[in-house]
Amino acid sequence: MAKKDQNIQQYHLHKEQPEKLQFEIYNLSDYFKKNEKGASIPHSHSFYQILWFFKKGGNHFIDFNKYPILDNTVFFIAKSQIHFFEKSQDYEGILIHFNENFLMHSDVDIFLKYNVFNNLQEPCYSITIDEINSATKYIELIKNELLNKTLFGHQQVIRYLLKSLLIVFERAHRSIKKDALKFNNLYELHYLNFRELLEQNFNKGFSVKNYADQLNISTKTLATITNSIGSKTPSLLIAERVILEAKRLLAYTTLHINEIGYQLGFEDASYFVKYFKRYTKKSPGSYRKLIT
């Protein structure tokens, strides 16, 4: 593993230029040749990333897992997720970056953010020739629209083309995973809203009641929803998100264990150690030695 820093390296999209279009599309080969050093170490982004590899070869690494790259594999890298490329690979494909504010906040956008992205069990899959053809058409339309910077509705056209492209990919996902969320009932919408709140607040020590109150539902209803949709209790989902972040910080930074606990909302370092051990059966120190 690469040399660790005090904090995980995070990259930003136009952070100092908020007036710029919060969207970029690249040829993957050109991008990797230019950015191989930074892309090949564990890092995160403050934006979303779509990686479409055209041909088989090598692996991609996401949150402690290695995923083989097959022909026409598409990866969905969520904001703040840790990933990195294998060095010395002849990559061919498309790379898309976009910021949070490039998606609006409709129900469909929340679904895309927390089902297509933030899908820890299935962050990638291969697409068929029909899906390739559909996705390629939208990408060509996006590239053409990027040339029309002065035309009326330029940003809106790209936003809706991007959303259409994501829907094409989600349809591909549904054809593979038969139990995918159908997004056609109130429980599923509440579940996704809970996941959004959890992503925003997992390091604040919020209780199940805190989340239920923000959703304007009871803790009992929230438990019914998460058990029905995700087969897990709200408290377990909260714990899994906290533990995931703890593992990232233990594996990829040199922060002391008490500093990690503090970052995750624990005022007492010893309680953080007990909490981590309860869910992983290992102390934070033992886990760090094992993973590094």
For position 230, which CATH number holds? 1.10.10.60
Total domain count, the chain:
2
Say how far apart CA 101 and CA 89 lie, in whole Å: 32
Please count the other Cβ atoms lying within 10 Å of the Cβ belonging to residue 8: 18
Measure CA 170 to chain center: 15
Q: Give the residue from 126, 156, 176 where a domain finishes.
A: 176
Question: Tokens 């005022």, residue?
Answer: 267
Say how far apart CA 270 and CA 258 lie, in whole Å: 8
Say how far apart CA 202 and CA 189 lie, in whole Å: 19
Q: Are residue 16 and residue 155 in the same domain, yes or no?
A: yes
pLDDT tens for each residue of the chain, 292 residues long: 444 666 788 889 888 788 889 999 999 999 999 999 889 999 999 999 999 999 999 999 998 889 999 999 999 998 889 999 998 788 999 999 998 888 766 767 777 776 778 676 778 989 999 999 999 999 999 999 999 999 999 999 999 999 999 989 888 877 776 555 555 578 888 888 899 899 999 999 999 999 999 999 999 999 999 998 888 999 999 999 999 999 999 999 999 999 999 999 998 989 999 999 999 999 999 999 988 7
Say how far apart CA 78 and CA 75 lie, in whole Å: 10
Say how far apart CA 213 and CA 183 lie, in whole Å: 23
Whether 82 contacts 62, CB under 8 Å: yes
For position 74, which CATH number holds? 2.60.120
Say how far apart CA 62 and CA 51 lie, in whole Å: 12
Q: Is residue 96 part of a domain?
A: yes
Q: Are residue 190 and residue 125 in the same domain, yes or no?
A: no
- How would you classify the pairing of strands 48-53 and 59-62? unpaired
Q: Are residue 91 and residue 140 in the same domain, yes or no?
A: yes
Q: What local confidence, expressed as pLDDT, does residue 1 receive?
A: 47
Question: Bridge-partner residues for 59, per DSSP?
Answer: 68
Q: Give the residue from 158, 176, 194 where a domain finishes.
A: 176
Q: What local confidence, expressed as pLDDT, does residue 189 receive?
A: 83
Question: What is the model's pTM?
Answer: 0.84
Q: Are residue 122 and residue 65 in the same domain, yes or no?
A: yes
Question: Bridge-partner residues for 96, per DSSP?
Answer: 25, 50
Backbone angles phi, psi at 146, to 5 degrees: -65, -20
Q: Are residue 150 and residue 55 in the same domain, yes or no?
A: yes
Q: Are residue 146 and residue 205 in the same domain, yes or no?
A: no
Q: Are residue 51 and residue 152 in the same domain, yes or no?
A: yes
Helix (H, G, I), strand (E, B) or coil at 207: coil
Q: Is residue 2 part of a domain?
A: no
Q: Is residue 3 part of a domain?
A: no
Strand order in the sheet with 59-62: 9-11, 43-45, 83-85, 59-62, 65-68
Q: Are residue 24 and residue 154 in the same domain, yes or no?
A: yes
Say how far apart CA 156 and CA 166 lie, in whole Å: 15
Range of the domain at 62: 9-176
Q: Is residue 228 part of a domain?
A: yes
